[in-house]
Amino acid sequence: MDADLIQFLSGFITPERLTLFNKILSQRTNYLTVVLEDLYQTQNTSAVVRTADCFGIQNVHVIENKHAFEVNPDVVRGASNWVSVIQHNGTAMNTPEALQKLRSEGYRIVVATPHDHDVALENFDLEKGKAAIVFGCERPGLTEWAMKEADEYMKIPMVGFTESLNVSVAVAVTLHHLTHQLRNHTDIDWHLTDIEKQEILLNWLRTSIKRVDLLEAKFEELNK
């Protein structure tokens, strides 16, 4: 039924826009995903969503423990329409459940922080499987829960006096490097599945078409 609905709704956007949607979908990936743990500056979270869109990362997971996620429209520049932002905010401490759920979906939990057993970004092994890269709150950093749940630790090597990057910059550096490596890796199937593409395309169509609810009601009526 989704395929039929997609075909129906596709008639209400231009062929050029539909071609663009499919072109971008061909470069999207869920092989890597970003996890933001309790960022308190909305501009940083919004900047990460925008960065994810630029580098073809479809899903961004936002863990809300003390700080709720709010889109900053001046920063995100519409990227939240195209990137799936999954919010984890059911309890006072959402980190363990969020990371365990990602692990159950086949992701290894990779914490972005210096650690005794860390690996430099340039040496990160993409062949080991899907990875959820976890970045922490601006000042306190990652919680003990995040560190405890980690399967691996990764750092961005630095040679200056300053020991850390702004979190949105750290995400951008990481995604630029890893997505470049991923797309040039012949042995990893990083593309979305056909089902994932259908689900995302349907969401993008719904986002793009005015009064899409009326059109979907008409579709349902025609297909009774």
- The binding site for S-adenosyl-L-methionine consists of 156, 165
Q: At what angle do helices 2-10 and 194-208 cross, to 10 degrees?
A: 40
Ranges 130-134, 147-151, 176-180: which has the least confidence? 147-151
Number of residues that make up the chain: 224
Domains and CATH numbers, the chain: 2-9+30-206 (3.40.1280.10)
Bind-site residues: 156, 165
Q: Classify the phi-psi angles of 142: left when phi > 0, otherwise alpha if psi is within -120 to 50, otherwise beta.
A: beta
**What's residue 141's pLDDT?**
82
Band of the pLDDT at 43, cuts 50, 70, 90? very high
d(CA 119, CA 139) in angstroms, rounded, equals: 22
**Distance between CA atoms of 187 and 107, rounded to whole angstroms?**
18
State residue 139's pLDDT score.
Answer: 72
User: Does 1 score more than 60 pLDDT?
Assistant: no
> Does 206 have pLDDT greater than 90?
yes
Residues 56-82: tens digit of each pLDDT: 999 999 999 999 998 888 898 899 999
Q: What is the mean pLDDT of residues 141-147?
A: 90
Lowest average pLDDT, out of 16-20, 35-39, 140-144, goes to 140-144
Whether the pLDDT of residue 196 is over 80: the answer is: yes
